[in-house]
Structure formats: C-alpha cells, structure tokens
Amino acid sequence: MKIREFVNEEKRTCVVVLEDCHQYFMTKIHKRLRSFGYSIPYKWLYFPDKFGGKAKCSPEDEFDADIGLSLARDRAFKLYTRTWNRKIEFLIEKHRFIVENIYALRKEVE
C-alpha cells in the first residue's frame, strides 16, 4: 500500500491518499486462506483501490501542514479500517451460510 500526501497552503488543506489497497487486501486474504487450502470467489473479494482523507484549516486558525496531514491520515485510515472490517464481516457471513447449507445437505443424506 502506498501513502501519498498533498499540502495546499493557499487553500489551507491537506490530503492523504492510500493507494493500491485492493492488491494489499487480496494478498493478505489469499495468503491466509491458502494456508487452509480454501479459496473464495473473486467477486466476493472486491475492495476499493484508494481511500482518502482531507483536513481543511479554519480561517481563524494558524495553518500547520504537519497537524493537517496527521488529521487527513487519520481520516483516511479510519475509512480504510471501516471498509476492511465490513469486508471481513461479509466474508464471515458468506462462509457461515455455506457451512450451514453443507450441514443441511449432509442431514438430507442421513
């Protein structure tokens, strides 16, 4: 994952963009699941590639790029973490659904 930072002193804004998030997510998921011999349909693994956070300084405050970048980075990572957790919960629910249906098939045979 790449982190890009932008500062615009004229507009008194700082922006942080997290890039290549999809590839990072795919690598982590596949690495973990391969150790169990498990695979997941690719369409379930969609993950956004970029996340951004922005901080804008109020006109009455003194502009400080370090503080602005810190706030923007925090906002970008909060969005990224929230999305990551939702995707993991989605995968857990899909797995739970599959397992429950497999057990139901097994009971039909018995």
Phi, psi of 46 (to 5 degrees): -60, 135
What is the DSSP code string of 40-97? --GGGG---S-EEEEEE--TTSPP-HHHHHHHHHHHHHHHHHHHHHHHHHHHHHHHHH
Counting every residue written for the chain, the total comes to: 110
| Tens of pLDDT, residues 5-21 | 999 999 999 999 999 99
Instruction: Name which of 53-57, 81-85, 106-110 the model is least confident about.
Output: 106-110
Structure tokens at 29: 């998921």
Phi, psi of 41 (to 5 degrees): -55, 135
